[in-house]
Amino acid sequence: MTSPGASSPDTIVFDDSGDLWLTVGSVSSSKILHVDSNALCRASKVFRAMLRGHFSDSKPANDLHRWEVKLPEDDPEAFVVLMDIVHANFDHAPLNLKPQELYNICVMTNKYDMTKTLRPMATAWYQRLKNMCQRSKKMQAYSKNLFVAWELGCQGAVEEMLQDIAEKCHVDEFGNLLIDRNTRLNNLETFRLIPLIDPIAQHRVKMLQVFHAEGKEIAIKILAKRPLCWHTGPCSAVNLADDIPEKFIQATQDLEIDSFFMPSLNADQLGYRGSVSRLHRLFKQVERLTFGEHHPHYCRHMDMLVGQACKIEMTAYMGSNDKAILEDEDSGDDGDSGFRSLSVDARY
């Protein structure tokens, strides 16, 4: 240990009356942070246990040596930002962060159970996050943005991104959720840090069940040559041509989604491993092959189907009341829909 009062040009002082020196990062890139242990313990239950419990990192019994704790696995730059916030040095805390920097900070708050410390910066960083989400195309970056939104308590952003992922993911032969052709969700760090894979899988199944329920109604009416749409308007007065049922059956078989139109099957017997967004496109293809382009029978029905599939609530799966730091500013944009329907263009 170092004698009390010793200083280093690499030491960053957050509290000159502090009693603790943290060495953060690997040997080649470490930073020494002079902090107040009381502020750190107030901010984090994990640090409270480390520093106040009977561990090797606890405060020395005498004052002959200064109190030092090494954190070699942590990101020093992210830790500096956190210590500024913990010590109320908000004028030093950056407002504009790169996506990876913001992600690294949130990884630290998740690790040390100190998400509440981000509250003073959450609003400013949330605005930054919204811009990041709009620009992110690759799933690796997108999933990191999801994690940041989760840590900041941006419920609206989390729900929107989960909806997007649930629509785009598909399933391999082992039942694993895949995104971007062959990226397994459970291989992405975000989904190892927060338990969201099961809610995504359950939400995907619920959307498929909606398509199946509507598909059965479509099949019953087409095969009976009854008017397809039940709502008012000119389409309800148009009779089905005699060749429509045959075209319909052939189209569903050729596109390999005939199970969605079989009343005798249960939802768990569909055997569909593709994405919801791909299924939407296949339903539209059935429409074109059966009725031709822009036929009024099917257009309104498809609009209703897509809207209904996107109304399924997913909020109940999240279990994150403690994450709701921010008031969802988008909550009034979507009427009775639990999720906004996103424009998707997935390969699967």
Sheet with 67-71, side-by-side order of all strands:
11-13, 31-35, 20-24, 67-71
Phi and psi torsions of 9, nearest 5°: -65, -15
Q: Identify the domain boundary among 66, 97, 128.
A: 97
What CA–CA distance (Å, rounded) separates 255 from 268?
19
What's residue 217's pLDDT? 87
Could you tell me if residue 340 is inside a domain?
Answer: no
What CA–CA distance (Å, rounded) separates 33 from 11?
6
Could you tell me if residue 122 is inside a domain?
Answer: no
Tokens of 308: 């209904």
The count of structural domains within the chain is 2
The angle at the Cα of 326, spanning 325 to 329, to the nearest 5 degrees, equals: 160
Could you tell me if residue 283 is inside a domain?
Answer: yes
CATH number of residue 74's parent domain: 3.30.710.10
pTM of the predicted structure, to 2 decimals: 0.74
Could you tell me if residue 289 is inside a domain?
Answer: yes
What's residue 165's pLDDT? 94
Q: Identify the domain boundary among 67, 97, 127.
A: 97
What's residue 311's pLDDT? 64
Annotate 146-190 with DSSP letters as a single string. Answer: HHHHHHHT-HHHHHHHHHHHHHH-EE-TTS-EEETTTEEGGGSHH
Domain hosting residue 250, numbered range: 206-309
Print burial letters for 95-107: b (CB count within 10 Å at least 16), e (below 16). Answer: eebebeebbbbbb
Look-up of token digits 């338990």: 195
Could you tell me if residue 261 is inside a domain?
Answer: yes
Mean pLDDT for each 10-residue chunk of the chain (348 residues)? 47 93 91 96 94 76 80 95 94 88 94 92 81 70 90 88 93 92 91 93 93 90 70 53 88 93 76 92 90 62 63 52 39 33 28
Annotate 89-122 with DSSP letters as a single string. Answer: -TTTS-S---HHHHHHHHHHHHHTT-GGGGHHHH
Residues contacting residue 134 through CB under 8 Å, at least 6 positions apart: none
- Residue 71, strand partner residues: 24
Could you tell me if residue 20 is inside a domain?
Answer: yes
Residues contacting residue 285 through CB under 8 Å, at least 6 positions apart: 251, 255
- Residue 126, strand partner residues: none
Span between the terminal Cα atoms of the chain, in Å: 58
What CA–CA distance (Å, rounded) separates 168 from 342?
11
- Bridge-based pairing of strands 177-179 and 67-71 is unpaired
Could you tell me if residue 105 is inside a domain?
Answer: no
Could you tell me if residue 217 is inside a domain?
Answer: yes
Q: Identify the domain boundary among 33, 64, 97.
A: 97
